Amino acid sequence: MAHSYSSSAILTTTIKFCLLFSLLLGMVSAQLSPTFYATSCPNALSTINSAVNSAVSSEKRMGASLLRLHFHDCFVNASGTNWTVQLGRRDSTTASLSAANSNIPAPTLNLSGLLSAFSNKGFTAKELVALSGSHTIGQARCTVFRTRIYNETNIDSSFATSLKSNCPSTGGDNNLAPLDLTSPTSFDNAYFKNLISNKGLLHSDQQLFNGGSTDSQVNAYSSNSASFLTDFANAMVKMGNLSPLTGTSGQIRTNCRKAN
């Protein structure tokens, strides 16, 4: 994955400074708050916003990468639109490969598996569909969607053919394809329109519109972009509140890649 290192460096440095300063002041909280750094680091949000915008401008995949990071973090350790981010979440002191494998919904899941995975975290079917709409941006590797384009029948034939040119039956595992072929760098409701046309890239994507209980919600979002954006933002806030580590629980990592 390509990165804008200058923007990432600014973002990382700012976050480290603000979090450490906050810790030194003893500002521990029992819950998340959108104003968590208002006193300890009042310029935090504007600086982070500027750095993220710069990073996304330099590398369009960055927006999808950040969404994926948030999703994976919240599901394991439990832009296109805007919402008020709840701040003050601490880092975990442990990491678990087995927890990641068992908690993160796999792209091979059928609808029943997706509904169960999200229900286990307290999400409704409607919220599952809304959050899946994040696939309106980002890309996936050939190895993740190869089985679908060569073996499944609920896929538009011309769509499958176009993908096969970049994803051969053998080899090319890391070749990429956009999750939303229509507008891959725009956060919109095209993802749902694609599903109705049997142009979902992942098996799990098309399961949301395959004669099951979520078909009606996909139809609703495909015709009402505003409804999708509102529901997506609300679901993201809810996901951010999945059993967060706050106050003296967890830690503020000096290196995001590993526990202190």
Spell out the domains of the chain, with CATH numbers in brackets: 99-239 (1.10.420.10)
18/16 Cα distance (integer angstroms): 6
Greater pLDDT, 27 or 46 = 46
Q: Among the listed ranges 9-18, 82-91, 143-152, 202-211, which one has the minimum average pLDDT value?
A: 9-18
Whole-number pLDDT of residue 66: 63
Backbone conformation region of residue 157, classed left if phi is above 0, alpha if psi is from -120 to 50, else beta: alpha
**What pLDDT does 87 receive?**
84
- Burial category of 45 from C-beta neighbours within 10 Å (exposed 0-12, middle 13-18, buried 19 and up): middle
- Flag whether pLDDT at 158 surpasses 80: yes
Question: Taking the complete model, does pTM exceed 0.75, yes or no?
Answer: no
**135 carries an active-site annotation:** no
Return the CA Rg of the chain. 19
pLDDT, residue 125, reads: 98
Q: Inform me whether the pLDDT recorded for 77 exceeds 60.
A: no
Q: Does pLDDT of 20 surpass 60?
A: no
Mean pLDDT of the 134-162 span: 97
Reported confidence tier of residue 84, pLDDT bands at 50, 70, 90: confident
Question: pLDDT digits over 94-147, tens only?
Answer: 878 888 778 889 999 999 999 999 999 999 999 999 999 999 999 999 999 999
Look at residue 72 in the predicted model and tell me its pLDDT.
47
Please answer whether residues 119 and 111 qualify as being in contact, where contact means their C-beta atoms are separated by less than 8 angstroms: no
pLDDT of residue 65: 61
Residue range 188-236, pLDDT digits in tens: 999 999 999 999 999 999 999 999 999 999 999 999 999 999 999 999 9
51 in Cβ contact with 9 (< 8 Å): no
pLDDT of 120 reads: 94
Catalytic residue among 3, 70, 72, 135: 72
Q: How far apart are the first and last CA of the chain?
A: 25
